[in-house]
Structure formats: structure tokens, C-alpha cells
Structure 1
Amino acid sequence: MRIPVPLNALRAFEAAARHLSIKEAALELAVTPSAVSHQLRTLEDMLGVTLLRRAGTGLELTPAGQRLAPGLHQGLTLIAEAVAGVREERREGPLRVNMLPTFATNWLSPRLSLYPFERRGFSLDISTTQEDVDLAAGVADAGIWYGGGQWPGLEADLLFEATIDLYGRPGFASGARRARIERVSRANLFVSRHCLTWRRWMDSLPGGPFEPAMVTRVDSGGLTLQAAADGAGVSIAVCELAESAVRLGRLESVFKHPVKAGVGFWLVYPKALSEDRRLDNLRGWLREQVGDGAGH
């Protein structure tokens, strides 16, 4: 259904008609009185009628305003009730959490057996994308994102600061240090485009920096770890995401030279969700896992 006038103008008129005050309508709508007046003029111009007029120190409805106000109030009330119902339903449903596939596979998945899914308020709906999604648009409720902690309009709680190191398949790190440097210098280095500080590691290596024979950039940190484990080359990767593969004997650090990445993993959410019980439950569990190291 197409409404032939701006919805904001209708909201401004409905609030002003209910309060019979521009100032009170502005306070309710969290805008300036001049903005309400502008919306009212726009509505009256589009309808070709006067809806409100001055009466002493206040306002009064014209006959046209009296005809419009009740139906408009009822309609906006129904919209508000419908939105509130959906919002309440979302609060009772699973918390929708978005994250990088690499984080989900290499950090979260090894710990999911410890997550209390059966407890009320702990239900999750997990999605993975290579890019941060628009939480304000309702694509997800919260995210576990990699970065510096600054996302406009969103709250961000640090889970852990990331470190990076160089990994290869078992046996790649054997031999003297100089031999390993020469071996790495002939290898294909796989790096994720999300790992923006990988050259920091190369420049900080004692005996370095070195230049690998080739650098292959991919869009997934998980692919860099898999390539290294399969013997396709070596990978500069986040240590906290590689720890599961190291523990399983699929990867090992070539030089055992972890370097701070300058970024971290954050629990990110809209401010309106800050008191949500489901978010608080997840945040508490994540912090327990971070505090326990590997979580096993």
C-alpha cells in the first residue's frame, strides 16, 4: 500500500494533535520543534488543507485535523504494537550472531561442546560472512568481529587481542634457524586479506626481514591455515585461530615468534541490545573461554 504523503509528516501531525503542542511533539519524537513545524507544513501543503491552528498559547485541531487525527492515531498505534510484538518475539528467540567463517571453524567450534545450549536464554543462531553485516538493519543481533574496535553506532566489547605467527605443516620447522629461514624464503606465503599487519611479523623476525618467493592473498584465514597444513606453503595467521590445528598436530609454528597484531576480536552489538539477557549470557560464556585459554 502506497501512502501519498511522507510517514514522518504523519507522525509529526499525530504527535502534535495528541499533545496540542509543537514542543511536546518534538520531545516525544526526539527532534527539534522547527523540524515538527516543517513536517506539519509539508503535510498541509500536500493535502491542501489546514490541520492545526493557533488558539491562544496552544493549538487546536481544524475540522480537517479532527477527521484525520483519530484514524491516524489508531493506525500508528497498530504499527507500534506490531513492531513491539516482533521485538519481544526476537528477545525470546535465539540470539543471531554473525562472525568470520575462520573464527567459527577454528576458535568457536572446538569449544561448542562446552556451550550450555540447553539452558534458557542461551539459544544461538550462528551465521558466517567474510564481511561485517549491517546489524542496524536487523541482519543479525550481534557480531564477533575482527578489527580495532571502532564500528560507528555500535558497542564493542574486547574478547581478546590477536597475535600472529608463521605456521607450516609438521616437519617444516625442523633444522637450524638459518635453514628454516631459507626454506621459508622459497615457500609460497599465504595471507588473509583480513590480516593487515602480516608484514609486521616479517619485519620483526630476528634474522629477517625476509621476502618469500611468492605471496598469495586469499579472503579467508581458514584457507591460509588449510593451505599450510596441506603443504602448499606457509601461513601468517592469528595464533588464537591456529591453536586447534596446532594441538591436533596439523600445524606448527615455524619460529615460535608470536607478534601482537594490533587488532582483536570483539563482541559487537547495537546499544539497544546492551541489556539483552541472551547477549549477556553469550558474553559471559565467551569471557570464560578466553580466560581458560584453549577452553579445554
Structure 2
Amino acid sequence: MDWRDIPSLSALRAFEAAARLGSLSEAARTLNVTHAAIAAHVRALEGEFGQPLLRRSGRGMVPTRAGAELARDLGNGFAEIAVGVRALKQGREDRPVTLTTTPSFAENWLMPCLAAFWSAHPDIPLSVQTSQDMVDLRRDGIDLAIRHGAGPWPGLEGHVLTQATMVVVGQPGRFTPRPVDPTTQEAWAWVATLPWLLDTSHSEFNKRLTRLGIDRDALRATELASNNLILPACRAGAGVSAQPLALVETDIADGRLEVLAQEQDSVMAYHLLHLPGPLSRRAQTFVTWLKSDAKCIVGTA
């Protein structure tokens, strides 16, 4: 199709509305523009086609023979477009909500919440995809992303879901005597002397340790390939581990882990993100639930 052969779509829409409604004023009200704008569009089309398309009849307007043919074809064409748009919107509304996040956040924060969500909204299917890599939401057709960082996130909208204060945790009573206040430099200096479990797949956490005064190269450390391996070993007393507080709050509350050192004034958080613009009804329901009703994790509201 050569778009140069087609007049302005705004002019075609204005003419179709005027011919269908029999009034420039009614067309203006329907399209939320001025009477003068509709008249100008009709005149422009008549100039392009070299013949009249509308004529006055009493207080209204009626199409000429050529105008009636054009109005009929435009009406059919716009109706086809409307069908396609409605089908696409309906398909978007009917498909599952897709969310991407990191494996650790999904396992330790998100998944424990979802039984309550599905109980409250059994009609909303949710597809959770896990990856350490940043994905292109538009390219991959993903509704929502939960990502760790300080932000901002260019090209995306969203809000802080939960803070990601760094804590060093270990099996309760396994490492003693520990400093009373885990937020002090004394606590951080002490944990640096303990055996560590390090996640080789998450370089950002290791950079944060450096900023907190922990020399990663000087640690007595066992390196493991993922946090899914780190946390069970840490609970069993094999070593200590640095974790975002959100991932271990339940472990701490249930007595499986204790906080040995804790970061202060962190700007890091888990952000719930999406493309600009309105979400589907299902995705918006899930976002609203996460913001207001996801109370299954200690410290969230």
C-alpha cells in the first residue's frame, strides 16, 4: 500500500461521520472537534477529489452520489478496523498476566504470596518467568517485571514493591559471640571473619559488599552457582550469606536464620515495573493486590 495515495485519515474520518450523521455539527460533537474543523476536512477532500461530497438539505447535510459511495466504503473500512482493534484488546484481556523476576525473588518472596492471590482471584491466570537477565517487556510481550536496583528504569513505569536492605544472615546460634547491634561497623568487621557462601550469578550483590567494606577476595568463601543453593546451605550452618532482607524475612521470623549484620540507609529496592500506558484489567488487578493485599510476607503491607 502506498500511503501517498490515501488522503488524511482525519479528513476521511470527519467526512464519514458527517455523511453518516447528516450534520457537520453532530460530527464535530461525536469526534470532539470544532464545526470549523469538520467543514475544513470536508472541503479538503472535495478539493482532492475534484467534486462535491456533501450538499445541504434543509438544516442538515446529505452526501452526493460520489459522497455516498465514499461514505459507504469508509464505513466498511472503519468497521473492519474496529473489529480488529476489539479482537486485539479482547485477546489482551483474556490472556494470562505474564511477570518476569529473578529466581530468588520468585521463590522466596513472590511464590509464597500467590496462593492467597489465586484464592482471591481464581479467574486470573498468572505466568511467572524467572531469569537473572533483563528482558525487553515490549519485545517479549510481558506485562510486569520485578527487578532489583536503585532505579530509575528508563522507558518503564512502576513503583517500589519492597525495600532491599542488605543483611548478612546465618544459622541461629551457629556463629558466636556476635555483636549486639548488627548495624555497626563492628558487626560488619566481625562477619568478614566468618565462612561465607557467595552467589557467583549475582555480581550486583558482590559489588554492594565492597561498598559496605567487605573485601570479597579476602573472605573464606565457598562459591555456589545460584541463590537457590546458597540459602539451604546457609540455613544448615555451612556459612553466612548476604541477602536482601525481603528474601529472608520469613526465615528470620520462623527462626531458621538470624541477622548478623545489616546495611543502613539503603537505596536499593525491588521495583514493580511495566510499559507506559494502561495495563490490562487482569494485570491491574494483580498490581493492586500486590500493593495492598500481599501480606503473607513479614514486613509487607
TM-score (norm 1): 0.61
Matches within 5 A, 1:134-283: 134-135=137-138, 139-148=141-150, 150-151=152-153, 154-167=156-169, 173-175=175-177, 180-183=191-194, 190=200, 192-195=202-205, 198-199=208-209, 202=212, 209-213=213-217, 223-224=226-227, 226-227=229-230, 229-230=232-233, 235-244=241-250, 253=259, 255-269=260-274, 270-273=276-279, 276=281, 279-283=284-288
Distance in 2, matches of 1:7 and 1:154, equals 37
Residue 225 of structure 1 deviates from its aligned partner by 5.8
> Which has the greater radius of gyration?
2
Report the counterpart of residue 284 of structure 1 in structure 2: 289
Say whether the 8 Å CA contact 2:166–2:243 is kept in structure 1: yes
Distance in 2, matches of 1:12 and 1:159, equals 42
**Secondary structure of the residue that 1:256 maps to in structure 2?**
strand
Structure 1: segments with no counterpart, 5+ residues: 203-208, 216-220
**Secondary structure of the residue that 2:141 maps to in structure 1?**
coil
Provide the aligned length of Structure 1 versus Structure 2: 266
Counterpart residue type for residue 292 of structure 2: R
Say whether the 8 Å CA contact 2:198–2:230 is kept in structure 1: no
Residue 214 of structure 1 deviates from its aligned partner by 6.3
Residue 91 of structure 1 deviates from its aligned partner by 2.4
Kindly tell me: are residues 294 and 70 of structure 1, through their superposed partners in 2, closer, same or farther at Cα, counting changes over 3 Å? same
Answer yes or no: is 1:12 the counterpart of 2:15: no
Say whether the 8 Å CA contact 1:187–1:213 is kept in structure 2: no
**Secondary structure of the residue that 1:86 maps to in structure 2?**
helix
Report the counterpart of residue 115 of structure 2 in structure 1: 113
Counterpart residue type for residue 103 of structure 2: P
Counterpart residue type for residue 137 of structure 2: D
Kindly tell me: are residues 294 and 10 of structure 1, through their superposed partners in 2, closer, same or farther at Cα, counting changes over 3 Å? same
Kindly tell me: are residues 150 and 182 of structure 1, through their superposed partners in 2, closer, same or farther at Cα, counting changes over 3 Å? closer
Answer yes or no: is 1:87 the counterpart of 2:93: no
**Secondary structure of the residue that 2:80 maps to in structure 1?**
helix
Distance in 2, matches of 1:7 and 1:211, equals 68
Matches within 5 A, 1:33-52: none
Residue 139 of structure 1 deviates from its aligned partner by 0.8
Structure 2: segments with no counterpart, 5+ residues: 19-23, 56-61, 179-186
Distance in 2, matches of 1:68 and 1:183, equals 81
Distance in 2, matches of 1:241 and 1:8, equals 57
Kindly tell me: are residues 64 and 115 of structure 1, through their superposed partners in 2, closer, same or farther at Cα, counting changes over 3 Å? same
RMSD: 5.2
Kindly tell me: are residues 190 and 97 of structure 1, through their superposed partners in 2, closer, same or farther at Cα, counting changes over 3 Å? closer
**Secondary structure of the residue that 2:3 maps to in structure 1?**
coil
Kindly tell me: are residues 247 and 291 of structure 1, through their superposed partners in 2, closer, same or farther at Cα, counting changes over 3 Å? closer
Report the counterpart of residue 21 of structure 2 in structure 1: none
TM-score (norm 2): 0.60
Distance in 2, matches of 1:126 and 1:54, equals 56
Deviations 1:122-163 (A, max 9, x none): 43232334314325x671233333344644565423322221
The percent of aligned pairs where both chains have the same amino acid is 21
Residue 240 of structure 1 deviates from its aligned partner by 0.7
**Secondary structure of the residue that 1:166 maps to in structure 2?**
strand
Distance in 2, matches of 1:260 and 1:194, equals 17
**Secondary structure of the residue that 1:96 maps to in structure 2?**
strand
Residue 107 of structure 1 deviates from its aligned partner by 0.7
